[in-house]
Amino acid sequence: MSRKTSLTPHEQFAHEVRALLNRYLEESDLEDHTLYEIMEHALGQWMNEDVVDFVSDIDLDADDEDDG
């Protein structure tokens, strides 16, 4: 019986991106170079999005003090 190796987060992400691209290549009339251009544009937009910071209302340090 072969043991399935677990993928690193980097490998998992790459696998998911390739799977999505392969699906669109098979199911749409888009060519591979067109998919590349679309992904490049979408990635550029994603990189330029504003990041919203999250500040929790819960003081997690207070919970640690109770456990001690």
Tens of pLDDT, residues 46-59: 999 988 777 888 88
- Are 39 and 21 a contacting pair, CB within 8 Å? yes
Q: Residues 6 or more apart from 24 whose CB is under 8 A from it?
A: 30, 35
The mean of the pLDDT values for the chain is 86
User: Which pLDDT belongs to residue 4?
Assistant: 66
Helix (H, G, I), strand (E, B) or coil at 44: helix
Amino acid at 44: G
- Residue 2 CA to residue 11 CA, distance in Å, equals 20
Model-level pTM? 0.60
- Residue 68 CA to residue 64 CA, distance in Å, equals 7
